[in-house]
Amino acid sequence: MRSLLLWMAKDQRLRETLPRMPFAQRAVRRFMPGERLEDAFAAADRLQDEGLGVLFTHLGENVTSLAEAEAVAAHYGSVMEQDRARAHPRGRVEISIKPTQLGLVRDPDACLAHCDELARRCAASGTWFWLDMEGSDHTEATVRLYERLAAEHARVGIALQAYLRRTAADVQRLLPLRPAIRLVKGAYDEPGTIAYRSKTAVDANFQALGVVIAQAAGRGEARLALGTHDSELIERVSAIAEAGGIERSALEVHMLYGIRTDELRRLRDAGYPAFSLVAYGDAWSAWYMRRLAERPANVVFALRQLLP
Ligand code: FDA
């Protein structure tokens, strides 16, 4: 089921037709406050009012023209301006982008220029610019992009995937840069030659990498976000870190909007800085199918929306 859904996520025709289907539109609302930026800001107000941090991602990936990448960059510029004007007392919304949405494949230099400008604007306005991690075809280019951005800008972060065997080396490679790392399990279908395939192995690697990055975070040499809904795993990383004298406040928890929000609140109350990543935009089909792949029960929920 997981592989099928992840294969479907890559299918161009399905990507185009799914967003037009009313049952899918109803089902996706569970994970998105809405397609419009106003919907995302309304959700941000609610989340920040209750003491949660917020990240925004405008859905889309693999743009095929430079004009599209430019439009995406301009959109994020306008997000920053609107966020500044909104001036929520709890602070600024952070931005998280997929590098292929800014042209990583089409034109890596143009992608770097867009990221450079957005990272500069984020740092100037006191917020953060994050790179999501996509399929393994893009891992090396994304890590390299991060290295170039981190050399120039103070507030840039990268997602690293615990299911990839290379990630332990990537963590060591990035630690000298005093990085911000959002550690996630990984959402794509990767072969066993390059990725751990069992949940036990992925969780074990997540825990080991989480502890290594937490040690750097405890020394003030990294920002660590545990990007998972797996609160037991978060607590296992945290218990080891705390036994080593690292404060809980050095371990952030990032979860996706609409998933296990009660757990996010519980962790916030337990002293972890807690963030919700809010996705919006109309290009949600591939992203939504990855969410379905993560949990079979979500497929049942989606199919139930077919009923009158
Ligand atoms: P796991 O799958 O073990 O689930 C833990 C618990 O959460 C279970 O109870 C499960 O039922 C529940 N849960 C998990 N997913 C759910 C869902 N979709 N619906 C309902 N319940 C669910 N991936 C990537 O490859 N690149 C990236 O850049 C990112 N970015 C990112 C940011 C943030 C903030 C998060 C939270 C996640 C990502 N991901 C990601 C996705 C990540 O790789 C992974 O696929 C999902 O988080 C699902 O795995 P969990 O870590 O939540 O654990």
Give the per-residue pLDDT at 308: 64
Half-sphere exposure of residue 12: CA atoms within 13 angstroms, side-chain side = 3
Looking from the CA of residue 163, the nearest atom of ligand 1 is 43
Q: Report the pLDDT averaged over residues 265-272.
A: 98
Domain 33-283: CATH architecture, name and number where available: Alpha-Beta Barrel (3.20)
Angle at 30 between CA 25 and CA 33, to 5 degrees: 85
Distance set, CA 296 to CA 3, 58, 124, 289, 302 (Å): 12, 25, 42, 11, 10
Give the per-residue pLDDT at 289: 85
Encoded amino acid at 94, one letter:
E
285 pLDDT band, cuts 50/70/90, is: confident
- Average pLDDT along the chain: 93
Is the pLDDT assigned to residue 85 strictly greater than 80? yes
Angle, to 10 degrees, between the axis of helix 285-294 and the axis of helix 2-9? 170
- CB-ligand 1 contact for 294 (6 Å cutoff): yes
Q: Report the pLDDT averaged over residues 127-153.
A: 97
Give the per-residue pLDDT at 283: 82
Is the pLDDT assigned to residue 305 strictly greater than 80? no
Pick from 12-21, 63-72, 128-137 the range whose average pLDDT is largest. Answer: 128-137
Reduced to 3 states (helix: H, G, I; strand: E, B; else coil), residue 276 is: strand
Q: Report the pLDDT averaged over residues 93-102.
A: 96
Ligand 1 pocket, mutate which of 295, 298, 299, 300 (most atoms under 8 A from CB)? 295
Phi/psi for 178 (5° steps) reads 50, 60
Is the pLDDT assigned to residue 108 strictly greater than 70? yes
Strand extents, DSSP E, 132-208? 156-161, 180-184
Q: Report the pLDDT averaged over residues 171-193.
A: 97
- CB-ligand 1 contact for 75 (6 Å cutoff): no
Nearest protein CA to atom 1 of ligand 1, as residue: 230
* Helix (H) / strand (E) containing 76: helix 66-86
Residue with tokens 């993560």: 294
Give the per-residue pLDDT at 297: 81
Q: Report the pLDDT averaged over residues 212-228.
A: 97
Residues catalogued as catalytic: 132, 182
The percent of residues in the chain predicted with pLDDT above 90, rounded, is 79
Half-sphere exposure of residue 162: CA atoms within 13 angstroms, side-chain side = 25
pLDDT tens for 117-135 read 999 999 999 999 999 999 9
78 pLDDT band, cuts 50/70/90, is: very high
Cα 86 → chain centroid: 23
Closest CA relative to residue 99, chosen from 13, 159, 11:
159
- CB-ligand 1 contact for 291 (6 Å cutoff): yes
The percent of residues in the chain predicted with pLDDT above 70, rounded, is 100
Angle, to 10 degrees, between the axis of helix 285-294 and the axis of helix 296-304? 120
Domain residue spans of the chain: 33-283
Dist. CA 160 → ligand 1 center (Å)? 13
Encoded amino acid at 51, one letter:
G
Half-sphere exposure of residue 225: CA atoms within 13 angstroms, side-chain side = 32
Contact at 8 Å (CB) between 60 and 72?
A: yes
- What are 149's two structure tokens? 């951005």
